Each structure stands twice: as structure tokens, then as C-alpha cells.
A and B are shown apart, each in its own frame.
Chain A
């Protein structure tokens, strides 16, 4: 009895002759198919996030450099404030704008309140920093989740696929390679997709979280410097 004759009755159309990706997917168990589709979507999403974050961080770095150059160039802070007030997506600039707005409000009011001004500016800048960091960290959690759960999801698909192939062994009373191989191949394909999705996700997560830390430190450093400058101004005026 040729084992290849039995296979079509178990998995119609899936013989050892056509082990292409397409056939692997088409003839897989529905659980395995769902796992494969889910992992594919995860992979697309991971790469989309990665591309977006790469663009975001390079933009932030460039904007930060130009802003600091302008800030330390001796330009009037009022002019800089007016230039930056309407702009968005400018982390260090946003910090500067938030602090300047608080400063101007305190000076323009009826009674000049220098008394807690420094504290207020610090608070405002902290809020601005945390908002910026939150913006940078958005969707990084997706990368972390896919990176850690992807292999497990793939493994789940593999287990389901291997169970299917064992069922086909039981159905055909045959343990030859032709009966077992397609099921095992489809099952391992699920693990492969899981790894394909998870490996870039983990790498990008590590890269971007360190990038976020770097940017946050830069913002805090600027905030400290700016607070020092404003504090000197307050002391001189008061």
C-alpha cells in the first residue's frame, strides 16, 4: 500500500508534492490559519510602528538640534516664543513654549506674583515632559507584546497543527513520512511566522525604548537649564 494514496482522503489535495506556502496555508486547520493570519497582521503592524517611530525620532532629534541652536544663539526668547507658539510636534520647543506661557501669564497679570513662579514653571515643564514622553512611548507596548507573545502564539498554532497531523496518522493507520510531513510542515510554518513577527518586534522595542530614554533625558536637561535661567531672572526682578 502506497502511503501517498491515503493522504488525499485525510487532507484533500495536500500531498507531499505541493508543499508551497500557499498550499500550506490553504490546507491548514482553521486554528492554524487564524494563528497565521493574526501573526501576519501583527507583523504588518510591528513594521508600521517601527517605520513611524524611526521617522518620529529622527524628526525629534533634528528639531531638538535646531531649537537648541536657536535657543543658545542669543536670540530674544520673546521672538523665539512667538515663532514656536503655533507649532506642534516639537518636543523641546513645546517644553519651552509651556514654560514661557506660564512666565508671561505671571508677569502680565495685575499683581505680579513671583512668589511660587519658579515652582509653577517647574510643574508646567514636568507636565510637558511627561506628555512628550508619553507621545514618544505610544504604541511601543504593541512591540513589546508582539515580541514576547508572538512565539507563544506561533507555538499554539504548531501544537494545533501537530495534533491535526497525529489525527491524520490515526485515521490512515500509517506513520510514513508522506502522511506526517504535510501536517508537521504546516504546524512548523506557524512557529516560523510567530518568530518572524516577534524577532523584529523585540529588536525595535529595545531600540526605541532606549531612544525614548535618551530623548527624555535631553528634555529634562533642557528643563533644568531653562528653570535655572528663569530662576535667575526672577531673583533679579524680585
Chain B
């Protein structure tokens, strides 16, 4: 026993010392995790979130940051809905002075007189020339009339801008312009939004009770029958059927058609469904009803 105990003690002390040295140098560092606040809202709350209120306090948005870099310097907007393709009225009358800067010095009567008198007979077509000859005496008295003629002679024969305008057959159009910034404000609610717009459990239960009242199960169907039929029902605001119920889905069973027929009959008999409130019409105008004998008879 002596040597064994000695050897065993020495071995264990050695193992412990090794463990102290080898295992101690590994700290367990767990980074602190930031907590994330989470709140639960019901479906009803979510519906009401989208409603919007007219008397809600106006939010002050410090500044709306542009989503895209501006390529051009912003221009003053003088129209509420700016035209994307702002097409100016096309003047086919070539006599009208096109470039403004050139038109400016023209009103000078002296220059007009000098230029008109020698040139008009040479360049104008015969008819105009004749007319001009008739009016030759009047010309000095009417400097305004001569001005367009003169500019027509001075303007170049081919103006690329004018041609492009003439070729542009587009109508001046009014399109929704993409705003420079995205509106971060929530919208003011759906047009048909109503407070608590949701088919309540009591309405669902009332509808179910009414249906199970009206419904007479076809022979061979009782509460234990594993079968169900799903119908799509379109309703009018007064609670009556807008049209015949449509079979959406039925169990693969010989009793299926009979059950579907009896369900349709029950819907026809029970209308109008006045327990559905009119203010929730959006919620029940298009219903999918499941007919399950287990629920309607047994429940």
C-alpha cells in the first residue's frame, strides 16, 4: 500500500499543478450585448396606425435631405406641376424675329430706313415687291412694318433650332415630376380608413351562429365527418349577397358536392347578414367562408 499511495499522491499533485498552469490562462470574455427595445402591437393597433388624423399636431421636420445629388442648380419653379417637356409655341412665320438680341437694335428707325430702301426690291418675291412699290411712299411713315422684313433678310436661312422645334410634334405634357427629396412624412391614411377597421370577433361569431342556424347538413354529414367546404362570398353593403357564392375549395369526398350545395343554400336563406356593420364594409365585402360540420354542428 505504501508505494502505491505515494505514487498516486505525487501523480495527482502533478496533474493539479499542470491544470492550474494550463487552464488558468484562458479568460472567458463575453461582450455585453446591447438590448433592443421591442414592443408588441396587435393587428388592430397596426390598422389604426395607418388611419391618420386631421387634427394631429404637425411634425416639424428639420430638413429634408436630398436622396440624390443635384446635377443642376435648382431653378425657381413657377408652375405647380412643372411640364417636363415645355414646348414653346412654334411660329412658322419666318418673318418673326427669332433671336431677341438681334431684334433689340432694330427698332432704330434710321437704320431701318437705310437698309430697307435699297434692298427690298432686290430680294423680295415679285408680289411682295409690287406691294412694296405701291407702299413705297408710305414706307418712311411706317417704320414698324419694315422691321420684320428686314430681320427676315438678316436672319440665316437655316436655323437648326427652328427646325428642331418644327419637327417636335409632342404635345406639351403634364407629368408627375419626381421630387428632389422623398417625403418622409407618413401619409394621411387610406381614403376608406376607419377607426378600428377590422372585422371584430363578435361579428365573426354572430355570422357563424347565424349560418349554423340556417344550415341544414346534407344526409350523411354530422359533427364527426371530416369534410370541409370553402366558399367565396361577395356581399353588398346592405349585407345581402352580391352574387352567387363561388366554390373555392372542397374536401375530396363523395359528400363534398352536397355539402357545398347545402352551404350555398344556407347563405341564400340567411341573407342579408345584418350583423355585419356597414362601417366595416371594406372588411366583409369579400369573404371566404369555411364550412366545417365539426365547427358548425359540434361547436
Contact = CB atoms under 8 A, between A and B. Distances in A.
Judged by DSSP, the binding face of B is: helix
A55 interface: yes
Interface in B1-35: 1, 3-5, 7-9, 11-12, 16, 19-20, 23-30, 32-33
Given A19-B24, A47-B7, 19 more contacts: A16-B28, A16-B29, A19-B23, A20-B20, A20-B25, A21-B16, A21-B19, A21-B24, A22-B20, A23-B24, A44-B5, A48-B1, A48-B4, A48-B7, A49-B4, A50-B4, A51-B4, A52-B3, A178-B32
Contact of B29 (A3, A17, A47, A52): A17
A73 to B, nearest CB: 32
Given A18-B27, A21-B16, A44 B4 contact: no
A124 interface: no
A51 B3 contact: yes
A40 B12 contact: yes
A185 to B, nearest CB: 8
Contacts of A69: none
A3 B33 CA distance: 9
Interface in A44-63: 44-53, 55
B29 to A, nearest CB: 7
Interface of A: 2-4, 16-23, 40, 43-53, 55, 176-178, 181, 185
Contacts, number: 72
14 contacts: A16-B28, A17-B29, A19-B26, A20-B24, A21-B16, A21-B23, A43-B12, A44-B8, A47-B7, A47-B11, A48-B7, A52-B4, A52-B5, A55-B3
A47 B30 CA distance: 38
Interface in B64-93: none
Nearest to A138: B1
A51 B24 contact: no
A143 to B, nearest CB: 12
Nearest to A56: B4
A15 to B, nearest CB: 9
Contacts of B33: 176
A20 B4 contact: no
A19 B27 contact: yes
Nearest to B7: A51
Contacts of B25: 20
B1 A52 contact: yes
A2 B32 CA distance: 6
Nearest to A22: B20
Interface string B274-290: 00000000000000000
Contact of B30 (A18, A22, A52, A181): A181
Nearest to B12: A44
